[in-house]
Structure formats: C-alpha cells, structure tokens
C-alpha cells in the first residue's frame, strides 16, 4: 500500500525547540495569584496503626492556612480498576493504617514551601507499629501479617491462563527444564518529578493542572474521591517531562491539592522532589518467576508452565494489569501447544509498584528469553535457530488472546543476525567478549476495559477553516513520546493539510472530545491515530460536494486531498485549494462550522490488543574478569513496528529504550533497608546510565503493514524496552561464564560467580 | 529540604577574605566551586549565613609548574584546569587522570582541588594521587602561614586538621625525580559518572640500576580517610621490581584498607578491587619509570 509522503518521514518534534530552549511551561512553572504551597506528611514506618494525630501545633504556625488528615476527607477508595471495585484499595490520606514508608498521612497548605515543611514536622502522629513484610515469599507464607484485611494471604489478585494438555506435553517431551528467576525494582526516573496546581471556582468546581499521562482517568477518580460530579472537575496538563507509566493514576497530592483548594478557596501547588520520587514513588514490579518448558527433539516448544509472584508493594496501583499482561507476555513470541500461567499479585510493605514501560513484559521476557538461551545451549542449537523454529508469524493465533495480523519476527531475527555479525563472531570468539540475544513482542494498546469507561477508547475532533488551516483537538497525552507531532502527521496525511497549518488542542478534559484513556500500553498512535483518520474522513465528506458541483463530476470520480489542495484524482487539473474549498463549503452550509469527530474502540480484537509489535536485539559485551565490570560494546536491533509514522521518533524510542534497558540490567536498583526505608534517594546512588554510558547502536526497521493501524503503524514505545536485559545477560554468559538469573548484573555477582570473591 | 538564605561575599584579596572570615566567625563558610558545600546546605542541613567566595581572589586560581619548585595549585584552581594543565599532564599523570575523569564535566568545571581535599570525603579523587606525590597544603590565617603535609591532613570522613578560619592558599607538590612513573586507577561499580568505589594511586622511582628507590601507594574510598599503603611501599623499596614482587606488593595493599559495605559496593568487593587496581597501577608505574610508553 502506498502511503502519503508525510508518513515515515523524520519530522523533528514540533515541541522540541521550546523544550530545548527552556521556553516550554511545565506544571511547576505555573504560579497563580494568591497561590499556596502544599506538603505531605508521610509515614516513617512500613506498617503501623495510626492511633492519634494532633495537628494543633502545625495549624498554629504562622503562614499555615490549612492542615488535613484522612478523617477530614470523604474517604472514598480509588484505583484504576473501576471494573473490579474490590481492587480499589487506596485512600488519598491514610485513615486507620499506614502500609509503607512514605504512605501519605497528612497535608499542609501554607504561604511558602518552607513553612509547609516546618508545619509537617509539627504534626504529631502516634503509631502502633505492626510487623512488616518485605518479600513476596514472606507475604504468602502461612500466618503472615495481613496488610489489607480484605486480601487473605496478602494476594490481591490471581490471574490464570491454561490451554492445551500440559501434563501430556511434559510427559512426551524430549527435553524439559525448570528455572527460577528474580527481578528487582527500578524506577521510571522521569526528568520531571510529579507536580500539580489546583484552583477552585464557584465553590464546587475545580481545575487541576497536573503532570500526568491520564487526564481523563484523573478527572474521573478525582471527582469520585471528592464526591463531586465528573463535570465539576477539569484536568489539564502542560508540558510533561516523561511518565513511562509512573504518572498513570490519581495520586494523593492531586487529591490534596484539589481538596485544599476547595477548602481554602485559594490555588495550591504540590511539587515532589527527586528524593520523594526515589523513596516513595511508583516503580517496576519485582517478581519471583518459576518457568518450566518442554521441547521436542527438533527444538519445537511443546509446553510452558509459568508462575509469577508480583511484588506489588502496599497497594494495587496498576499491578492487576501487570499481573494479567505478564501471563500474556509469557507466550506471545512463540507457539506453544500447551501453556499454563498462574500470576499472583502480592502485597508487601513497600512503596507500590505500578506500570512501567513494558508493563510486566521486561520481567517476563527476562525469564522467558534467558530460558530460551539456556535451552538452546542444552539442545545444541544456535539460540537464533531455536527461535526461528518457534517464532510467531502473521496469521498465527495466540490462544485466547488474538490472531496476529502482522508479524515481522522471523525477519527481525534474520536481520539482527546479519547486522550483528552473529555467526562469524560466535565462531571466532574473543576472550572476555560475548554476543547475546533477547526478543520481544508488545501490544499496541489494550483492549480489556479495566477502567470501565463509558466512552470510546479514543476520540478526536477536527475543524477546518477558510484560511486553509485546521485544528485538531484530542485528549491524547504527549508526555514526551511524540503524539503531538505524530497525530498531526496523520491528520496531514489524511486531509492533505500541511502539518504547520494544524493547531493542536490537547489535554483539557473540558474542551477536548470524550475521551481518551491516556498514554500507556503503547496505545496512542494506533488508537488516537485511527480516531483522527475517522474525523478527517468526515471532514472530507463535507468538502467533497463543493468539488462535485463546481466541476460537475460524475459519481464515479474520487477526490484526492494533498498539498493543501483538493482535486479529482483522475484529473488533477480539476483542483481547488483547501482554503477555497472550505470557504465554499462554509457558504453552502450557511455558516455552520466544519467540525467532525472520530472515535476508535477496538472491537472483535480479543481482550488484549488489536496489534502486536515484534523484534530481536543482540548485545555485544566485554566483561573484565578482574573487576567484574560489564561494558556494552554495541547494541543491534531489528524490529517490526509496522509502518513507522515518524522515523526519527522511532529512533528516539529505541535509544531511550536501550538506555533504560541498560540501567535495568546493570546499574539501577532501589535499595531498601530492614525497615523498608529506601537508601538510595538521589541520582548519586540511584544509578541511571548517562550519555557517557551509552553504547553505540545499529538498527533496522522490518517493514510490515498492520491492517488495524493508522497507515499500517503499530507500537514502537514499550516493546523496545524489553529485550535488552536478556540480551545483555546472555552476552555476559558468553563472555565470562556467569549466567544471570537474578537481575541486576553487578560486578560483585560476576566476581562471585567466577570464584574471585566470596 | 529548603535552602536557607545566605549572603555571598566576593573578596578580591586574600586579606579581605581573611577579614570577612574573622568578622563573621561563626555561621561563615568558604565557597570555592560550591559542588560539595551547596549540596550539604541543601540536603544535609549545614547552616551558613555568610559564604566567602574565593573565586575572585586575585591569583588564587593560578596553576604553575617549574622544575625547581614543582607544582603549585592555587586554592581556587578548578579541577578541569588542573587536569588539562600541560605541566600536570606531563609530570603528574596520576593527578591529571583523576582531575579529568572524576565527577562530570560540569562539576569539574566548577569544583576545585582545594575543595576536594578540604571536604575530606574518603573517596576524594585527588587525594590519593596527591598523597602519592607527597603534596602539602599552604594554609593562611590572620596570624600567619603554615604548611601541612597532606599525609597529616585528614582526620576522618569530612574532618581535617584545617582550622575554621584558615584558608588553603595553595597546594604544593614536589617535582618528580627522574626515572619516575605514576598512575591512578579508579573504579565505580556502575555508571561512568559516579563516585569512585575504590581509587588507587601509585608512584615508583627507580635508581640507576633499576631498583625501586621510592614507592608510594595510596588508596581512596576504602577507609575513613585516604590512606597510604606503607607495607607495600616497604616491600618494594630497595628491591628489583619483578612482576611477582609487584603482584605481591599489590596484594598486600588489601591490609591497608578498612572498607565498609554500603549502597555503592560491598567491603568484599572493595577489598578485591584494591588488589586488582594496585597491581595494575604498579605495573603501569613501572612501565613509565622504565621509560616505556603508555
Ligand atoms: C554530581 C557530583 C559528582 C561528584 N563526583 C565526584 C567524584 O567523582 N570524585 C570526587 O572526589 N568528588 C566528587 N564530587 C564532589 C565535589 O565535586 C568535589 O569534592 C570538588 O572537588 C569540591 O570542590 P569545590 O570547589 O566545589 O568545593 P566547595 O563545595 O566549594 O567546598 C568544599 C569545602 O571545602 C571548603 N573550601 C573550599 N576551598 C577552600 C580553600 N581554598 N580553603 C579552605 N577551605 C576551602 C569549603 O568551605 C567547603 O567546606 C561530586 C560532586 C557532585 C555534586
């Protein structure tokens, strides 16, 4: 299929100049007249009953305007899984118990941040300490203390998948292996810590500017926790400095800002610090994973038994989704005649884990892909050959999930083999060097409606004006990943209006069409893109009559919308500028504006996703056997994201994904002490790879056309964050003989495995 | 934590700086690059109402090398300037290396060698090389001047013998003799931009027969202060530096350290790395002292 020229171009992001020059406005830049500053008092204990709170001294401090505790609030529990109300386990401020170090207990509004902080220190809280649990194994052990009374055994959610005859497959298999894996907690480390500003109007309406990736979800949950109609809450966002899954829920400061703004009648701002984020913020789920696989003599996968304990921390957050998806990611890449998954979401007294780029997949893939590499070795097969034998292809079915409508997995494997020099380098092995492989598949947006929205999953509104310009309004949320540019490219491609003539209005729940579920699950390009195309199509239908009457066209003619012109496809001389066409259409409509809305909701697409990306990555590493240090020499990636709408954006996603994958595998780790307090709360000790740590990379796009995606596109955001850990882990094994089954790979673990330290 | 309010003074001469210090006495701090001080004020609750900046004090940023006098690093000389000074690069490769790989380019552009030493972190990257080179500090106060050997300077984490109203005017480093090689190796367990988990500096000076006339080995980040490895130094001095001896001397450095477990690395790892780095440093020093290229 031939796409319009603008599809697949490398268009620099339209928001980039403002961000690079410091002109972009972020939430913390907002200052309103009379604005107060909020601070949160957090629990110093991991698990305790609140016996008494006395805020008198804090209230008495000059400059303090209000102090609230849980008892002052409506106490409505919230959580993203509205479909399962029992899963909604959070309160904005703790009422009877605190469940992790950092659980929010009180909030102060004061004239300046320093006073607010001093007031927090004056709040007296008497706790009765309870025994705390920090591992999933302890949490599910018999007699373990209960973190939530409603969840016996501290398991808040169980997800099972089963198909095929597992026992028989294991019995007839040529080769069976079992492994256990552990993965740790890392953080999104978005550059902009969370911040929000609330302003009350007319007594019971509130506007919230917040650094979020889900304005609509925040609107709904804020309304329910405040006890207000949804329509009384307006959520807007300005530039957002990253999210990666860490900003996709209602958070306590958003509630407190709105609640305090309503109580005091003054605008109010909360801004978190980096240390707040590292110590108390959302994070990727640590998991304990058991996996058993069976192969035939030829290397065909016969069965897999996949059991996962997700360490959810103190609340569900987005853990239920991760629990569901983890099972699906355990079987997405390869064909299994039999598969069984048991995923359990377990509470512990740690800061809650939630969504983070990959949503359960980086963990599942680290286990699954490492196991593939182990199996290949035992079966005497090249790891890439083993994958080619089992790889999913277009038209294959992921049982109980979906039929894959486009799949470039085999091509990715072949290409990455080529560009990495896989066969040659494996033959001429240099000491201390190794190549390793990891693969991925990911969803292009979720289908399962856990938020229980009554609206379409995405919506767009297009207007055209007689000066030839257009306006696109939608709730899609650009948090740095690029939809503000990509959606305009899609509109430009469909309507023929130049991209610089499109004004974008986004992220205002009161002004943009209902609704959009937000930025997560790599859904925006596909879902919002489809909504934009539908809206543009309706506009074209409104404009077509102008040309048909002007040129007295035969019914069989077709029109083209390109280069700010409308013309007869078979006879391009019969043409009119888009501006003139809109002008004439307006006249014909006696002044009624040309406005159209488009929507998208995946239907008949199973319960997981309408489309799937695929890819393979090879890491080349050097391990210093004396120091145990791993240096990634180069990363090679071949991936299928359908038709890339903006090549430069896809490259950016890949680079960022490698950076995150590198950190996950080698450096990043949130370290907690025996009391559940985080020890590394600055970037000095929470190690993220910097530009200096980035290895060079080489990549190829494997072109497929996804029939469900706008112009053939599917996701390119999260999938790429998955393969790096198993690829590096495999390469480290090839370089020095240390096989990592428990991330991260530290020099100490390498040296211990090599017998150099105890 | 919120930053307390303070006043910054910008004296032009050392005398003015000393006056300001004694005028405000308590609640006053010297400010060089501020890369340690400001962190402490912001995060560790350090209070100072007055900061006396050394950045405009005339002559304090000079770096000079002469064969007769050795190296003089001004009390406000920047790490980056020291790292790329030709005299330093030529005669003090261990120091040049430390100054050009520690921290980040931005921090090296602001931070100073004097600040690094006075801050007295066990992991201070310039300390081990300067100990190996036998550096001393010139400290001035209103009463006069004194010279403090770096070896006697550190008292514990964050502690030194410097008096509150003293200013480090300069750091003096003797000129290295002929047939001398020196090197510094640092290792951080994770990112490149990182505080060293272990740092080892060494210096070997050979006599005409090729025996070791003088050896200096110093460790960073593995004890409450930067430390010298006297045992290893003694093992080598007067001996022919064959490979086996270098390996044994390097291994003996482990006995000079008292590393701790922390979030950056375990004690066991640090101990193992002291040996690995000390051996690497000694080999490199020998190659340089024997006139071998890098
Ligand atoms: C991100 C980051 C990374 C870092 N990485 C490293 C690293 O890898 N290795 C490392 O060793 N350090 C590192 N540091 C610490 C710091 O940058 C260095 O110690 C630097 O050399 C301090 O110099 P300064 O001029 O900034 O000192 P300041 O902060 O200005 O001063 C430090 C202390 O010394 C005193 N002082 C300064 N100059 C004088 C003087 N002439 N006389 C008397 N007292 C004086 C001050 O009063 C203060 O108490 C890092 C810091 C940061 C923020």
Q: How far is the CA of B37 from the centre of ligand 1 (A)?
A: 7
Rounded to whole angstroms, the Cα distance separating A96 from A105 reads 10
pLDDT recorded at residue A1: 56
Q: Which of B147, B62, B70, B79 is nearest to B119 (CA)?
A: B79
Residues of chain A with pLDDT under 70: 1
Q: Which of A285, A427, A327 is nearest to A743 (CA)?
A: A285
Q: Give kind and range of the element (H or E) at residue A474.
A: strand A470-474
Distances (CA, A) of A652 to A416, A688, A725, A758, B177: 19, 17, 19, 41, 53
Q: Please check whether the two domains, B63-173 and B180-290, share a CATH topology.
A: no
pLDDT recorded at residue A606: 85
Question: Nearest residue on chain B to A670, judged by CA atoms?
Answer: B263
Question: Nearest residue on chain A to B191, judged by CA atoms?
Answer: A689
pLDDT recorded at residue A350: 98
Q: What is the DSSP string of A607-666?
A: SS-S-EEEEEEEEEEEE-TTT--EEEEEEEEEEE-BS-SBHHHHHHHHHHHHHHHHIIII
Query: What are the residue ranges spanned by the domains of chain A?
Result: 16-22+450-600, 31-130+191-242+247-280, 391-443+607-753
Domain A391-443+607-753 has CATH 3.40.190.150: no
Q: Is B35 in the pocket of ligand 1 (CB under 6 A)?
A: yes
Distances (CA, A) of A575 to A362, A570, A581: 52, 11, 10
Rounded to whole angstroms, the Cα distance separating A753 from B290 reads 37
Rounded to whole angstroms, the Cα distance separating A31 from A28 reads 8
Rounded to whole angstroms, the Cα distance separating B20 from A355 reads 54
Q: Are A119 and A54 in contact (CB under 8 A)?
A: no
Q: What are phi and psi of B85, to 5 degrees?
A: -70, 130
Altogether, the residues listed in chain B come to a count of: 294
Alpha-carbon dihedral A6, A11, A13, A14, rounded to 10 degrees: -60
Q: Give kind and range of the element (H or E) at residue A410.
A: helix A409-420
Q: Which two tokens stand for residue A111?
A: 């004239």
pLDDT recorded at residue B2: 60
Q: Which of A119, A89, A92, A93 is nearest to A106 (CA)?
A: A93
Q: Are A668 and A725 in contact (CB under 8 A)?
A: no
A31-130+191-242+247-280 CATH pick, 3.90.1170.50, 3.75.10.10, 3.50.50.60, 3.40.50.1240: 3.90.1170.50
Longest CA span, chain A:
87
Domain B63-173 has CATH 1.10.3720.10: no
Contacts of A684 in chain B (CB under 8 A): 195
Q: Is B111 in the pocket of ligand 1 (CB under 6 A)?
A: yes
CATH topology of domain A16-22+450-600: Aldehyde Oxidoreductase; domain 4 (3.30.365)
Q: Are A41 and A120 in contact (CB under 8 A)?
A: yes
Q: Is B192 on the interface with A (CB under 8 A)?
A: yes
Rounded to whole angstroms, the Cα distance separating B100 from A692 reads 14
Q: Are A268 and A261 in contact (CB under 8 A)?
A: yes
pLDDT recorded at residue B82: 98
Closest CA of chain B from A115, distance in Å: 10
Rounded to whole angstroms, the Cα distance separating B256 from B227 reads 7
Q: Which two tokens stand for residue A317?
A: 């957050």
Q: Are A191 and A241 in contact (CB under 8 A)?
A: yes
Q: Is B114 in the pocket of ligand 1 (CB under 6 A)?
A: yes
Q: Is B223 in the pocket of ligand 1 (CB under 6 A)?
A: no
Cβ of B193 within 8 Å of Cβ of A693? The answer is: yes
Q: Please check whether the two domains, A16-22+450-600 and A391-443+607-753, share a CATH topology.
A: yes
Q: How far is the CA of B31 from the centre of ligand 1 (A)?
A: 9
Q: How far is the CA of B34 from the centre of ligand 1 (A)?
A: 6
Q: Are A488 and A499 in contact (CB under 8 A)?
A: yes
Rounded to whole angstroms, the Cα distance separating B110 from A438 reads 42
Q: Which residue has the tokens 């590394």?
A: A680
Rounded to whole angstroms, the Cα distance separating A105 from A107 reads 7
Q: Is B168 in the pocket of ligand 1 (CB under 6 A)?
A: yes
Query: What are the residue ranges spanned by the domains of chain B?
Result: 7-53, 63-173, 180-290
> Which of B38, B47, B272 is the mutation pick for testing A, counting most A CBs within 10 A?
B272
Contacts of A687 in chain B (CB under 8 A): 190-191, 194
How far apart are the two ends of chain A, measured CA to CA in Å? 61
Q: Is B103 in the pocket of ligand 1 (CB under 6 A)?
A: yes
Cβ of A680 within 8 Å of Cβ of B187? The answer is: no
What is B180-290's CATH number?
Answer: 3.30.390.50
Question: Nearest residue on chain B to A276, judged by CA atoms?
Answer: B1
Q: What is the DSSP string of A307-376?
A: EEEEEEETS-TTHHHHHHHHHHHTSSSB--SEEEEEEEEEE-SSSPP---TTTTHHHHHHHHHHHHHHHH
CATH class belonging to B7-53:
alpha beta
Contacts of A666 in chain B (CB under 8 A): 190
Q: Is B37 in the pocket of ligand 1 (CB under 6 A)?
A: yes
Rounded to whole angstroms, the Cα distance separating A599 from A512 reads 12
Cβ of B263 within 8 Å of Cβ of A693? The answer is: no
pLDDT 10s digit of each residue in chain B, 294 long? 566 789 999 999 999 999 999 999 889 999 999 999 999 998 778 889 999 999 999 999 999 999 999 999 999 999 999 999 999 999 999 999 999 999 989 999 999 999 999 999 999 999 999 999 999 999 999 989 999 999 999 999 999 999 999 999 999 999 999 999 999 999 987 777 788 889 999 999 999 999 999 999 999 999 999 999 999 999 999 999 999 999 999 999 999 999 989 888 899 999 999 999 999 999 999 999 998 644
> Which of A684, A745, A750, A758 is the mutation pick for testing B, counting most B CBs within 10 A?
A684
Contacts of B266 in chain A (CB under 8 A): 748
Q: How far is the CA of B124 from the centre of ligand 1 (A)?
A: 9
How many pairs of residues across A and B have Cβ atoms under 8 Å apart?
53
Q: Which two tokens stand for residue A515?
A: 């609704």
Q: What is the DSSP string of B211-261?
A: -EEEEEEEEESSSSS-EE-HHHHHHHTTS---HHHHHHHHHHGGGG-----
Q: Which residue has the tokens 């506009």?
A: A539
């Amino acid at each position: 299929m031939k796409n319009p020229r603008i599809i697949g171009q490398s268009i620099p992001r339209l928001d980039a100049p403002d961000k690079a020059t410091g002109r972009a406005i972020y939430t913390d830049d907002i200052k309103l007249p009379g604005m107060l500053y909020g601070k949160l008092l957090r629990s110093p204990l991991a698990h305790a009953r609140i016996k008494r709170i006395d805020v008198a001294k804090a209230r008495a401090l000059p400059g303090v305007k209000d102090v609230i505790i849980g008892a002052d609030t409506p106490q409505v529990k919230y959580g993203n899984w509205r479909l399962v109300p029992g899963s909604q386990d959070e309160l904005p401020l703790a009422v009877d118990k605190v469940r992790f170090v950092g659980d929010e207990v009180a909030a102060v509004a004061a004239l300046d941040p320093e006073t607010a902080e001093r007031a927090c220190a004056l709040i007296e809280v008497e706790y009765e300490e309870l025994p705390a649990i920090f591992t999933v194994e302890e949490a599910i052990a018999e007699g373990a203390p209960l973190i939530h009374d409603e969840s016996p055994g501290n398991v808040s959610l169980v997800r099972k998948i089963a198909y095929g005859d597992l026992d028989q497959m294991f019995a007839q298999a040529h080769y069976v292996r079992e492994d256990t894996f552990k993965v740790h907690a890392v953080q999104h480390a978005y550059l902009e810590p969370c911040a929000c500003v609330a302003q009350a109007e007319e007594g019971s309406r509130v506007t919230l500017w917040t650094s979020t990736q889900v304005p609509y979800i925040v609107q709904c949950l804020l309304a329910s926790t405040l006890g207000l109609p949804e329509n009384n809450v307006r959520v807007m966002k300005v530039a957002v400095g990253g999210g990666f899954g860490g900003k996709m829920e209602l958070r306590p400061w958003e509630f407190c800002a709105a609640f305090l703004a309503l109580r005091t009648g003054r605008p109010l701002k909360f801004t978190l610090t980096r240390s707040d984020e590292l110590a108390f913020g959302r994070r990727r789920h640590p998991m304990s994973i058991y996996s058993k696989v069976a192969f035939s003599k030829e290397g065909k996968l016969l069965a897999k038994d996949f059991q996962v304990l997700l360490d959810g921390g103190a609340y569900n957050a987005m853990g239920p989704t991760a629990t569901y998806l983890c099972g699906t990611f355990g079987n997405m890449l390869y064909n299994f005649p039999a598969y069984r998954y048991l995923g359990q979401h377990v509470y512990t007294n740690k800061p809650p884990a939630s969504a983070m780029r990959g949503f359960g997949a980086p963990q599942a893939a680290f286990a699954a892909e490492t196991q593939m590499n182990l199996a290949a070795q035992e079966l005497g097969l090249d790891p890439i050959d083993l994958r080619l034998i089992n790889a999913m292809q277009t038209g294959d079915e992921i049982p109980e999930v979906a039929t894959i409508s486009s799949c470039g997995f085999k091509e990715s494997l072949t290409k990455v083999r080529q560009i990495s020099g896989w066969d040659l380098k494996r033959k001429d092995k240099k000491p201390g060097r190794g190549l390793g492989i990891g693969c991925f598949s990911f969803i292009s947006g979720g289908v399962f409606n856990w938020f229980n929205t009554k609206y379409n999953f995405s919506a767009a509104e297009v207007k055209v004006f007689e000066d030839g310009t257009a306006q696109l309004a939608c709730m899609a949320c650009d948090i740095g990943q690029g939809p503000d540019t990509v959606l305009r490219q899609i509109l430009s491609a469909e309507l023929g209006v130049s991209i610089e003539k499109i004004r974008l209005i986004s992220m205002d729940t009161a002004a943009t069409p209902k609704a959009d579920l937000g930025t997560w699950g790599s859904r925006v390009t596909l879902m919002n893109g489809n909504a934009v195309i539908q809206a543009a199509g309706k506009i074209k239908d409104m404009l077509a009559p102008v040309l048909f009457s002007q040129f007295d066209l035969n019914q069989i003619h077709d029109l083209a919308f390109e280069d700010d012109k409308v013309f007869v496809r078979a006879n391009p001389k019969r043409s009119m500028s888009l501006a003139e066409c809109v002008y004439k259409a307006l006249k014909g409509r006696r002044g009624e504006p040309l406005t159209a809305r488009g929507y998208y909701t995946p239907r008949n697409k199973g319960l997981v996703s309408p489309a799937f990306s695929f890819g393979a990555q090879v890491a080349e590493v050097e391990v210093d056997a004396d120091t145990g240090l791993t240096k990634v020499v180069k990363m090679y990636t071949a991936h299928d994201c359908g038709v890339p709408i903006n090549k430069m954006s896809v490259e950016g996603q890949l680079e960022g994904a490698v950076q995150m994958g590198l950190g996950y595998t080698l450096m990043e780790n949130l370290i907690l002490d025996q009391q559940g307090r985080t020890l590394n709360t600055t970037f000095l000790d929470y190690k993220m790879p910097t530009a200096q740590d980035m290895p060079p990379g080489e990549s190829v796009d494997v072109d497929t056309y996804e029939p469900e995606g706008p112009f053939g596109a599917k996701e390119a955001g999260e999938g790429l964050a998955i393969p790096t850990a198993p690829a590096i882990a495999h390469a480290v094994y090839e370089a020095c003989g240390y096989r990592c089954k428990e991330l991260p790979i530290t020099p100490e673990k390498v040296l211990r495995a090599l017998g150099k330290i105890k | 934590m919120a930053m307390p309010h303070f006043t910054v003074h910008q004296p032009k001469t050392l005398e003015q700086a000393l006056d300001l210090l004694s005028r405000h006495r308590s609640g006053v701090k010297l400010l060089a690059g501020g890369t340690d001080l400001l962190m402490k004020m912001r995060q560790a609750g350090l209070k100072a109402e007055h900061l006396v900046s050394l950045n405009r004090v005339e002559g304090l940023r000079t770096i000079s090398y002469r064969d007769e006098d050795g190296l003089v690093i001004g009390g406000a000389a920047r790490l980056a300037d020291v790292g790329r000074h030709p005299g330093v690069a030529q005669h003090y490769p261990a120091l040049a290396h430390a100054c050009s790989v520690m921290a980040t380019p931005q921090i090296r552009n602001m931070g100073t060698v004097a600040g690094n030493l006075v801050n007295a972190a066990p992991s201070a990257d310039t300390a081990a090389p300067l100990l190996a080179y036998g550096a001393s500090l010139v400290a001035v106060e209103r009463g006069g001047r004194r010279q403090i050997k770096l070896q006697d300077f550190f008292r514990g984490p964050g502690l030194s013998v410097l008096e509150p109203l003293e200013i480090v005017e300069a750091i003096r480093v003797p000129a290295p003799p002929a047939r001398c090689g020196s090197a510094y190796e640092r290792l951080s367990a994770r990112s490149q931009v990182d505080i060293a988990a272990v740092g080892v500096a060494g210096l070997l000076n050979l006599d005409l027969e090729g025996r070791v006339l003088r050896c200096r080995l110093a460790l960073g980040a593995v004890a409450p202060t930067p430390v010298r490895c006297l045992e290893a130094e003694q093992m080598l001095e007067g001996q022919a530096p064959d490979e086996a001896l270098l390996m044994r001397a390097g291994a003996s450095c482990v006995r000079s350290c008292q590393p701790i477990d922390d979030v950056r690395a375990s004690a066991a790892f640090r101990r193992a790395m002291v040996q690995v780095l000390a051996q690497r440093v000694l080999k490199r020093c020998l190659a340089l002292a024997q006139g071998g290229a890098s």
